[in-house]
Structure 1
Amino acid sequence: MGYRNMQECLLALEEQGQLVRIREEMEPNIEIGVVQRRVFQAGGPALLFENVRGTRFPMVANVFGTLDRVRFLFRDTLGLLERLFQLKVDPLVALKQPWKYLKTPLALYNTMPKSQPGGPVMAHKTTISELPHLKSWPLDGGAYVTLPQVYSESPNKPGFGGSNLGMYRVQLTGNDYQPDREVGLHYQIHRGLGHHHSEALAKGESLPVNVFVGGPPAMTMGAIMPLPDGMPELFFAGALAGHRMQMVKRPGQLPILAQADFCICGHISARGEKPEGPFGDHLGYYSLAHDFPVLTVDAVYHRDGAVWPFTTVGRPPQEDTMFGAFIHELTSELVPTVFSGVHEVHAVDAAGVHPLLLAVGSERYVPYAEERRPQELLTNGMALLGTSQTSLSKYVLIAAREDDAHLSAHHIPEFIRHMLERVDLTRDLHFVTRTTMDTLDYSGISLNQGSKLLWASCGPKRRTLAVTPPSDLSLPPGFSDLRVFAPGILVVRGPAHKRGRDEHDPLMNRLANALDKSGGLDGFPLVVCVDDAEFTARDWDNFLWVAFTRSDPATDMYGAGAFTHCKHWGCTGPLVLDGRLKTYHAPPLEDDPDVERRVDALGAPGGPLHGII
């Protein structure tokens, strides 16, 4: 069955030739993170760093670095989980082929954690200062845990059934934290730990929290699994692992994962936050320093032979991309059971995941109408914006399966083309303003606040998308380098942004008015203004990253022939999206040239990474 701890996992990877040992001393400050990213980009093996400066504990990276490796880790249970999900989709399927479902009761049995009085993780005590201190990017505010499993239980419903397991950033050093006594705990809104903290605050109590590092790989996957409210991630981890999770029960204290490599035990006091960050994050920018709860450390445990798993995050694709791909494989058939009328969703990794969600739904509300128009699609889109992880989405683009039975949200150029061919810009754009948004997205009007756009288009093609702009198109002063990125999409370089937060830019209105006067742009319904047109138009990854991570729908959308009618906004000409870096945005991540050169040397002939990077 599945691996019970990280040691079993690494042994299996090494036997398969999927793990390389690095015996040279490595620096956890920037260098080791650069190595991890380089090897991931090369599709290389897992890396066991046996000699890490400043700590006695080895570190391991890229355990989840390829989709094939992730499938290998969970090969014993994937088939059984798929059959469980099939039962969710169609409960009668077991009657048709009952022999395939004989082991499903075992999977359900494995969801229940197993309590025990002790475990390997309790063998030794250590301190925060003795742990590996990974710093991933030059401007990071300190060291932090990049693959934590943060465990808490509901104060109103204690026990495994009321538990939450999440992957929240845990800052170990830096800022104003008392060494060895305090660590930062950055949890985003919409997350289960926040619900537990709210309950504790209402009671005037501190909230016990345990941070597991390492242990069964299924626990890491469980910590990032987007499960419905009320379904404990700990239960899913047991089903994925193929065995019950062993939990050390201690009277009056929070349980500890018995097979973890490390456990940081602590509590969040009823009141008191401290600045956490900045840190490079998965949108490709730094998340800046903000006040977040403080975890007071009560004890730090580790097992014999403990290994510290880590990754780094940055502009996609990174190792966490593999998590998303694996989750999609595992759950794609469940989408219609969670969102009625939705057949497929795709949180676009290249756009930072949460900023852009593509979806295919049904449009069946008025089948007798002469022309199909968005109605059921709007219901579907609102459901996506109001449920679970998809509620973090900033742009939701949803198309009707009835228009093209072969349309897929995972074929991005074809999907965008389909939407642009059908969009009615006077009708199809629906904004939600002054609402909550992803904590890590700095394009909004304040931390955790911005807008969302639901773009729903369906029906017959309205236009043929153009690939050549009008020869007489005149741009206002300050705008230049007009490029055709894709059929129907123009990219133009604009002047540097100089406005404040929560303000429209008159320069963008000037561009929209110029496009309106020029005419001849019926085949180009989308114009994106950027800082570097050549970079943005180089490929789809660059375009998606720039356009959707650097814009807030309500603030940064303009239009040729724009109008507002009874509070509905639309435009008669091209939609203009401001994809420039704003004065209030967090800075993008940039490599340290000196460290990059040192890592280059590791890949040279005779170096430990020769032939890998």
Structure 2
Amino acid sequence: MGYRNLSECAFDLEKKGMLVRVDAELDPHLEIGCVQRRVYEAGGPALLFANVRGSRFPMLGNLFGTTERTRYIFRDSLRVIEAMVKMKISPKEAAADFPSLLKAIAGAYRLLPSGKRFSPVLKNICTLKDLPQLVSWPMDGGAFVTLPLVYTENPASRGFRSSNLGMYRVQISGNEYLENEAGLHYQIHRGIGVHHREALRRGEPLPVNIFIGGAPALTVAAVMPLPEGMPELAFAGVLGGRRIGYGRTPNGLPVPSEADFCISGHIYGNETKPEGPFGDHIGYYSLRHDFPVMKVDAVYHRDNAVYPFTSVGRPPQEDTSFGEFIHELTGGLIPEVLPGVKAVHAVDAAGVHPLLFAVGSERYAPYEDNPRPKELLTQANAVLGQGQLSLAKYLFISNYFDNEELDINDAEAFLVHMLERADWRRDLHFQTSTTIDTLDYSGSGLNEGSKLVIAACGEKRRELPTEIKNGLNLPDGFSEPRVAMPGVLVIKGTKADAPRGMEDERMHAFVRRFDAEHPINRFPLIIIADDSEFTARNLSNLLWVSFTRSNPASDVYGIEAETVSKHFGCRGSLVIDARIKPHHAPALEMDKDVQKRVDSLFAKGGVLAGLG
């Protein structure tokens, strides 16, 4: 059976040598987050900080820091999940496999939460300021709950079946928040938004419960891309290997009995306050914006409560391992949900939402010797119509039949495959003035930007160069060309200063300098960056700079470009302006004094020596 609560999990991991207890006093202001990120980078253990400055509650970090540890935590239920997925993909085959059928039936039973007369989480009451005041990055606007499980129900149809459990950033101090207020940063395309809108329509406050801790399955369930109609609390029961017991708070909402904390209250009307900044998973700060305010009625906690947390930043981070585990659970359902699509991969190094890879199936005209993308475009639209995948900016989609062995998780091999085949005159498909991720500041406004689908299929069209031959004779203001990978040239450009959402005349001058016969076109993709050495240093830097710092509609250019019947294409190289723009959010950097203190903890003789 799975763990009932977080303490059971921590105790077991410590026995198995997968968790280290840190008894030295550490500060949740910058220090603890910095330590967690460093241990994650080293592939280290989970960390229980037993002596947190300013709080009586211990903090647990890096719990899901490796996929191996995550698999261990859910070892008792993985086969049940596999059986349920198999039942969905191939019911006949699953029914013929009697052991798998029994596992699926057992899993279905655990979907049902069960009411409890006594809930440990409701035994004690504290305040928001009693919680560990975690601040991960120097410019953060205050303390944040970084693993909050935000639970709401649709006011029009109360109950688990119309519930939503999501992980939305929660600010609990700083800015203009009062002691009994929390900021709820929920992004577009989130279930809580539907519930909030219905509450506004009815003129009612929206009850909200924020769970912290509890069974580890709750945390994973809150970020799973579940089928519509399956409550996250129900899936947590399957994943955790036991039904989720629950009590109720005075606002009428359930709370998992074994949670460590519950922040309970309401959203009243459409009141907002500035939330942020916050160092986020794309590698930049999300800046201050107005978001809904939750009025907190009470903060409940169990005896010996443990406060789980994570610290996000430029990938890879703990949420990377989290995402890998979730893909293991759900990847097999992709062809079921998206017919013809073999696989989808959100590229972590590019901040997840900015860049998607997909493998589709071009089947519309199998009799053609060298087909052009047709069904791939239908499948690309289907991908961009799915949940959070709809927030992507760039989608590269290949044809399965061109290379059935192509590994979608090997970013360089996938890009090489695409660049060998892409025809920039036909394969670029833009969506302008649309929605992008709330955390992405490359677009024309908050939640506003554009998308580019690159769909390529057929025989290999070109050999990709790996070195620069002969002088390129670059225009003034462009210098230091470097080859980042086969077929990709990175060039340093002058500082960008074009208005937000507008094209840059200097970029137009750059592409006008060359015709389609110029040797620079041996490189099908050119990236203009502030620092070409940094960008070309490794694939991770290339993906991060190129796709987090560009908005397709305003930052994609082409040599010998033309627009025919509103279709943009080019005969020469495709050029992406990935310089930092004046409206971009600042990249994350750690405070140097804090970094030195943390370094001393890991030095020989330090309390964390050997962990990072």
TM-score range, shorter chain: over 0.9
Contact 1:425 1:572 in 2 (8 A): yes
Distance 2:153 2:336 in 1: 27
CA shift for structure 1 position 522: 4.1
**Corresponding residue for residue 572 of structure 2:** 573
Distance 1:545 1:192 in 2: 29
**Corresponding residue for residue 116 of structure 2:** 116
CA shift for structure 1 position 118: 2.9
Contact 1:344 1:408 in 2 (8 A): no
1:375 aligns with 2:374: yes
What is the identity, as a one-letter code, of the residue corresponding to 2:430?
A: F
**Corresponding residue for residue 583 of structure 1:** 582
**Corresponding residue for residue 416 of structure 2:** 417
Distance 1:40 1:523 in 2: 40
1:135 aligns with 2:135: yes
1:108-163 CA deviation, whole Å, 9 max, x = no partner?
Answer: 01011112233000110000111110000000000000001100111122100111
Distance 1:339 1:517 in 2: 38
1:409-434 CA deviation, whole Å, 9 max, x = no partner?
Answer: 11111110010011010000100110
CA shift for structure 1 position 452: 0.6
**Corresponding residue for residue 354 of structure 2:** 355
1:323-374 CA deviation, whole Å, 9 max, x = no partner?
Answer: 1100111111111001111001110000000000001010001112232110
1:184-583 aligned within 5 A? 184-249=183-248, 253-516=252-515, 519-583=518-582
Contact 1:229 1:388 in 2 (8 A): no
Contact 1:143 1:173 in 2 (8 A): yes
Distance 1:122 1:252 in 2: 13
What is the identity, as a one-letter code, of the residue corresponding to 1:391?
A: S
CA shift for structure 1 position 463: 1.1
SS of 2:28's equivalent in the other structure is coil
**Corresponding residue for residue 59 of structure 2:** 59
Distance 2:132 2:515 in 1: 58
Distance 1:174 1:205 in 2: 27
**Corresponding residue for residue 81 of structure 2:** 81
Contact 1:280 1:286 in 2 (8 A): yes
Aligned length: 612
**Structure 1 unmatched runs, 5+:** none
**Corresponding residue for residue 593 of structure 1:** 592
**Corresponding residue for residue 146 of structure 1:** 146
**Structure 2 unmatched runs, 5+:** none
Contact 2:87 2:95 in 1 (8 A): no
1:105 aligns with 2:127: no
SS of 2:417's equivalent in the other structure is helix
CA shift for structure 1 position 562: 0.9
- Where do 4+ consecutive residues of structure 1 move more than 3 Å? 249-252
SS of 1:515's equivalent in the other structure is coil
What is the identity, as a one-letter code, of the residue corresponding to 2:167?
A: M
Contact 2:477 2:493 in 1 (8 A): yes
Contact 2:142 2:276 in 1 (8 A): yes
Distance 1:251 1:611 in 2: 47
Distance 1:522 1:452 in 2: 24
Distance 1:229 1:293 in 2: 25
Compare 70-79 and 592-601 and name the one that shifted more: 592-601
SS of 2:329's equivalent in the other structure is helix
Distance 1:438 1:42 in 2: 30
Contact 1:515 1:574 in 2 (8 A): no
Contact 2:122 2:301 in 1 (8 A): yes
What is the identity, as a one-letter code, of the residue corresponding to 1:596?
A: Q
CA shift for structure 1 position 518: 6.3
CA shift for structure 1 position 508: 0.7
CA shift for structure 1 position 228: 2.9
Contact 1:512 1:559 in 2 (8 A): yes
Distance 1:87 1:551 in 2: 42
1:180-210 CA deviation, whole Å, 9 max, x = no partner?
Answer: x111000010011111111111111111110
Distance 2:100 2:7 in 1: 32
CA shift for structure 1 position 251: 7.0
SS of 2:54's equivalent in the other structure is coil
Distance 1:139 1:62 in 2: 22
Contact 1:117 1:249 in 2 (8 A): no
Contact 1:136 1:280 in 2 (8 A): yes
SS of 1:92's equivalent in the other structure is helix
What is the identity, as a one-letter code, of the residue corresponding to 1:133?
A: Q
**Corresponding residue for residue 50 of structure 1:** 50
CA shift for structure 1 position 102: 1.6
**Corresponding residue for residue 2 of structure 1:** 2
SS of 1:13's equivalent in the other structure is helix
Q: With the length of structure 1 as denominator, give the TM-score of the two structures.
A: 0.98
What is the identity, as a one-letter code, of the residue corresponding to 1:247?
A: Y
Contact 1:116 1:249 in 2 (8 A): no
1:394-446 CA deviation, whole Å, 9 max, x = no partner?
Answer: 10100000101101211111110010011010000100110011000000000
**Corresponding residue for residue 20 of structure 1:** 20
Contact 1:360 1:408 in 2 (8 A): no
Distance 1:292 1:189 in 2: 12
SS of 1:156's equivalent in the other structure is coil
CA shift for structure 1 position 250: 5.2
What is the identity, as a one-letter code, of the residue corresponding to 1:407?
A: L
1:533-570 CA deviation, whole Å, 9 max, x = no partner?
Answer: 01000100000000000000111000001111111111
Contact 1:48 1:59 in 2 (8 A): yes
SS of 2:342's equivalent in the other structure is strand
**Corresponding residue for residue 92 of structure 1:** 92
What is the identity, as a one-letter code, of the residue corresponding to 1:32?
A: I
Distance 1:517 1:415 in 2: 25
Distance 1:251 1:574 in 2: 62
What is the identity, as a one-letter code, of the residue corresponding to 1:497?
A: A
What is the identity, as a one-letter code, of the residue corresponding to 1:72?
A: Y
Contact 1:356 1:396 in 2 (8 A): yes
Contact 1:118 1:249 in 2 (8 A): no
SS of 2:533's equivalent in the other structure is helix
**Corresponding residue for residue 605 of structure 1:** 604
Distance 2:94 2:216 in 1: 29
Distance 1:135 1:83 in 2: 41
Contact 2:425 2:568 in 1 (8 A): yes
CA shift for structure 1 position 470: 4.2
Distance 2:237 2:385 in 1: 28
Distance 2:423 2:227 in 1: 34
What is the identity, as a one-letter code, of the residue corresponding to 1:524?
A: F
SS of 1:103's equivalent in the other structure is helix
**Corresponding residue for residue 169 of structure 1:** 169
Identity value in percent: 56
